[in-house]
Amino acid sequence: MRKTMQAAVIDEAGEPGVFRVTELAVPDRVSAEFLVKVVAAGVNPIDAKTRAGRGVFDSIREFPSVLGQDFSGVVVQSPYEAHPIKPGDEVFGMVMVPRFRGSYAEYVTVPSISVVRKPSTLSHIEAAGAPLAALTAWGMVVEVAKAHEGQRMLIHAGSGGVGHFAVQFASYFGAYVIATSSERNLGWLRELGASEVIDYASTRFEDVVSDVDVVIDLVGNVHDDTGTRSLQVLRSGGLIVNVPTGSWPTFAEDAAAAGVRGTGFKVAPDGHSLAVIARLLESGAVRVHVDRIFGLCDVADAHRLLELGHTRGKLVVKVAEG
C-alpha cells in the first residue's frame, strides 16, 4: 500500500489559479470507513464557492485542503472482512468536505453508509458525475416536492448538473416538467423528459407560465431576479425549493409574503438513496451527461469553465486509469 498520493490542493481562498498539485499522505481509514482509490472526481458549484472563500470554506481547519465531493473508484480497504463490498469492487459516492479530505486526490476515506456499488453500465467518468448532483435533485424533486402525475413543476437551469437530473426524476415520476435553459439546450431537455422548455434569454418565463405547483430554483436572485420572479408563477400554497447557497438572502420572507411555501435544501451523502439512483442509472431510465473531462493538473481549468455557467450536465476530473 502506498504511503503518499497526488492531490490538487488549495492553501488559501482565491481564483482557480490557487490550485496546485502536490504529494500528501494517503488518508488513514478509521472504523467503519472505506479507503477508495479514486479513478474520477466530479466538479460541483460548492467546490468553486468553497475555493473562492464562500461555501464551506470557513469550516476548513487545516491547509493544504483537498476539495471535491464526488468520486468513483475501486475499494482498497473495507470496514471489515465480511463486508459485502470488498477490496477490488468498483464503487461511487459522495464525501463530505471538509469533514473528510476531498476527491481531487488519488485516495479518499469514506463512511460505509455513503458508498454504493458503481452501476456496471457506467464508466468511472460517468459515475463520478452523478452522486452530489443526483442526490440533490432526488432530495428536492422526490423527497421534498414528492413528484407525481398531474403535478406542474418548473425547473430553473434545467441543463446544469443538478438540473438535468431534476428534469429526469420529475418526468420519471409523472410530473409535467417546464424547464428553463439557454437555446442550445432546449431540444436536449425535451429528450430528457421536459414537456415545455423556455429560452431564458428570449422569453420571460413569468409571461408564459402560471399555476405551477412546484418551482425547483437552482438560480436564486444571482441573475435577473429569477427567484423573486418565480413567486409570480406559483399557485397559492405552492412550493418553491431554493438550493444555491447565499443566492437569495430574503428567500423565506419573500415566499411567505407571496403566500407560498418555501424551503432550502442541503444534500446528504445518503447511500440508500444513491443505491436507488444507481438502479435507475443502470437501467438507463436516468442518465448522466458529462460535458468535459479534465486531468488532475487541470482542476483550475475545470473551475474556470464551471464558473462561466454554461455547462451542459457535469464536469469530471480523471484522476487515474480505471
In the three-class reduction of DSSP (H, G, I as helix; E, B as strand; rest coil), residue 81 is classed as coil
Torsions phi, psi of 298, nearest 5? -110, 20
| 262-289 per-position pLDDT tens digit | 999 999 999 999 999 999 999 999 999 9
What pLDDT is stored for residue 3 in this prediction?
Answer: 96
What pLDDT is stored for residue 245 in this prediction?
Answer: 83
pLDDT at 223 over 90: no
Q: Which residues pair with 315 in a beta bridge?
A: 43, 292
pLDDT, average across residues 188-198:
98
Q: Write the single-letter amino acid at 140.
A: M
Cα 147 to Cα 252: distance, rounded to the nearest angstrom: 22
Delineate the domains of the chain, giving CATH numbers in brackets.
Answer: 4-130+288-318 (3.90.180.10), 133-264 (3.40.50.720)
Nearest to 288 by CA among 109, 138, 179: 138
**pLDDT band at 82, cuts 50/70/90?**
very high
Nearest to 95 by CA among 271, 242, 220: 271
pLDDT, average across residues 65-90:
98
Cα 130 to Cα 132: distance, rounded to the nearest angstrom: 6
Buried/exposed 231-253: b ≥16 CB within 10 Å, e otherwise: bebbeeebbbbbbbbebbeebee
pLDDT, average across residues 116-128:
98
Contacts of 26-32 spanning 24+ positions with Cβ under 8 A: 26/1, 26/2, 26/106, 26/107, 27/100, 27/101, 27/107, 27/108, 27/109, 28/109, 29/77, 29/109, 30/109, 31/79, 32/79, 32/80, 32/111, 32/112, 32/113
What pLDDT is stored for residue 226 in this prediction?
Answer: 96
Cα 172 to Cα 54: distance, rounded to the nearest angstrom: 34
What pLDDT is stored for residue 186 in this prediction?
Answer: 97
Structure-derived torsion over alpha carbons of residues 40, 44, 49, 52, reported in degrees to the nearest 10: 30
What pLDDT is stored for residue 246 in this prediction?
Answer: 86
Contact indicator for 11, 1 with CB cutoff of 8 Å: no
The pTM score is 0.96
**pLDDT band at 183, cuts 50/70/90?**
very high
Burial of 112 (0-12, 13-18, 19+ CB in 10 A): middle
pLDDT at 316 over 90: yes
pLDDT, average across residues 226-242:
97
What pLDDT is stored for residue 263 in this prediction?
Answer: 97
Torsions phi, psi of 276, nearest 5? -65, -45
